[in-house]
Homo-oligomer: A and B are copies of this chain.
Amino acid sequence: MRMPTNSSKLRSEQAAGLSPGRLREAIRAGRYRGTTEGLAPGYLQANLLAIPAAMAYDFLLFSQRNPAACPVVEVTDAGDPRITDIARADVSTDLPRYRVFRNGECVREPESAVDWWREDLVAFLLGCSFTFEHALRRARLPLRHREAGRSIPIYHTGIKCNRAGVFSGQMVVTMRAFPGSAVAEAVRIMSRFPRAHGACVHVGDPAQIGISDLQDVSFGDPPVIKTGDVPVFTPCGVTSQLVAQSAEPDLMISHYPAHMLVADVTDEQSAGC
């Protein structure tokens, strides 16, 4: 069988014009391996976290006890990488890039997870903040990091997640700075998307949640903060990733950062109200 050639690869601009279904087709065929940020605007994107079935109850309970930080939108049956609700897709082939962890250590970053999938894996799909960022843009609210061409700033915090079995840890958050006059509207819009990390955990003084210096990010780029801006903090998908890693499953497969599953449900369909 002939493998797809480089000449058939899609550039981001071409990928940007595709429907979620066509995009997943291109990814599955090896024709697109880039970030999904900005693609299929208006459709839900999801983080992937696949762990052994023996740990799946504890993780599902963790998500029930920490819904803002760990918003589960679909769970596969053990050993079957297919989902049917947010999209008809195979999560072992339909993301552009993956990370494979052994006992909590990243050992590979493959373009397909097929060779790594195992009979006892259960895949969790978690909402992603691209959803509410899209809604914020539609409302013409400024996104400082995007305007500056930077990645979103991400921070460890002192906020303890609620433990569930083997899963525990501190919440990781993203920060977006808004003019004081826009904070209420931003919070209102984000709050509509609790399944996409839109439930704010803190507004204002970073020190109160254990962040001593906003310029000293844990991941991503340092923020741009203008005079009069107020920092707004929302839970980040990295929380679940780190909590899962620290439980050291013998095998864990996740999406590669910003290389998500693009779903068939729209942002609006995933809204809480």
- Point out residues on A near B: beta carbons under 8 Å: 56-57, 60-61, 63-65, 72, 75, 85, 162, 191-192, 194, 272-273
Which residues does chain B contribute within 8 Å of A60, judged by CB atoms? 57, 60-61, 64
- Identify 19 residue pairs between A and B in the complex whose beta-carbon atoms are under 8 Å apart, listed by A's number: A56-B57, A57-B57, A57-B60, A60-B60, A60-B61, A60-B64, A61-B75, A63-B64, A64-B72, A64-B75, A65-B75, A65-B85, A85-B162, A191-B273, A192-B273, A194-B272, A272-B272, A272-B273, A273-B273
Q: How far is the CA of A192 from the CA of B191 in the complex (A)?
A: 12
Most buried by B among A57, A63, A72, A162: A57
Q: A56-B57, A57-B57, A65-B75 are in contact. List 14 more A-B contacts (CB 8 A).
A: A57-B60, A60-B60, A60-B61, A61-B75, A63-B64, A64-B72, A64-B75, A65-B85, A191-B273, A192-B273, A194-B272, A272-B272, A272-B273, A273-B273
A262 to chain B, nearest CB (A): 21
How many protomers of this protein does the assembly include?
2
**Closest B residue by C-beta to A56:** B57
Which residues does chain B contribute within 8 Å of A64, judged by CB atoms? 60, 63, 72, 75
A110 to chain B, nearest CB (A): 28
Q: How far is the CA of A61 from the CA of B61 in the complex (A)?
A: 9
Q: How far is the CA of A191 from the CA of B272 in the complex (A)?
A: 9
